[in-house]
Amino acid sequence: MAIRTESLSDAELIEALKGARTADAALRQLYRHHYDGLERYVLANKGSAADAEDIFQEALVALVNLVRSGRFRGESSLRTLLHALNRNLWLNELKRRGRAQAREERYESVHEKVTEAAHFALEQREVSGTLRSLLEELGAACREILLGFYYENQSIREILGRLPYENEQVVRNKKGKCLKKLEALVRGDDRLFQQLKNFLHG
């Protein structure tokens, strides 16, 4: 009896990753198929299990953002992209710790051309703590509205259904003010502002 595989193809994974509501299954498949191999890479290159977890998560965040922004449309396999992101993030971390060996440096200079995707992943990692702090500083009410609208692509009506506002116009006004407040916070951090600007303009 033939066993039907439940694995999504790369094209299906990319489509699923684009939507906040459909990404969960895609992310889980990427973990199942790639985590062990990429963990072994970090462990074989002076990393710990905790390092491997951290780096893989970061690579996946970068991959999701690249897919959703249209920067990655399947030009190479997801495996190739994920492995390259993971490898670059780890090599950069080793350099940061001052532990990159000559072998890794030679490898990087001879075999590896750091791609735009890898640059994005590195910049994103640098500012991730700041991004988290600023969104927390924004407050729960603004976070709910902005995540609902700009991340989950919910309509104003759907957001109104979840939150205690009088009508859609009130939600719309609140959304505008929250976005402006967030803009001011982001502008207050040069590194984060520049990282986002670089990503926006490719």
Which residues contact another protein by CB under 8 A?
Answer: 20, 23-24, 27-28, 31-33, 35-37, 40-41, 44-45, 53, 56-57, 60-61, 64-65, 68, 83, 87, 107, 111-112, 124, 128, 131-132, 134-135, 146-147, 149-152, 173, 175-183, 186-187, 192-193, 196-197, 199-200
In this complex, which beta carbon is closest to another protein, that of residue 97 or of residue 153?
A: 153
CB of 135 vs another protein, minimal distance in Å: 5
CB of 10 vs another protein, minimal distance in Å: 14
In this complex, which beta carbon is closest to another protein, that of residue 53 or of residue 158?
A: 53
Burial 179-190 (b: 16+ CB within 10 A, else e): eebbeebbeebe
- Taking a C-beta distance cutoff of 8 angstroms, is the pair 122, 88 a contact? yes
CB of 11 vs another protein, minimal distance in Å: 18
CB of 96 vs another protein, minimal distance in Å: 19
In this complex, which beta carbon is closest to another protein, that of residue 160 or of residue 178?
A: 178
Q: What is the DSSP string of the chain?
A: -PPPP-PPPHHHHHHHHHSTTTHHHHHHHHHHHHHHHHHHHHHHTT--HHHHHHHHHHHHHHHHHHHHTTS-SSSS-HHHHHHHHHHHHHHHHHHHTT---HHHHHHHHHH-PPPHHHHHHHHHHHHHHHHHHHHHHH-HHHHHHHIIIIIS---HHHHHHHS--SSHHHHHHHHHHHHHHHHHHHHT-HHHHHHHHHHHH-
| Integer Cα distance of 118 and 79 in angstroms | 14
In this complex, which beta carbon is closest to another protein, that of residue 2 or of residue 200?
A: 200
CB of 29 vs another protein, minimal distance in Å: 10
CB of 200 vs another protein, minimal distance in Å: 6
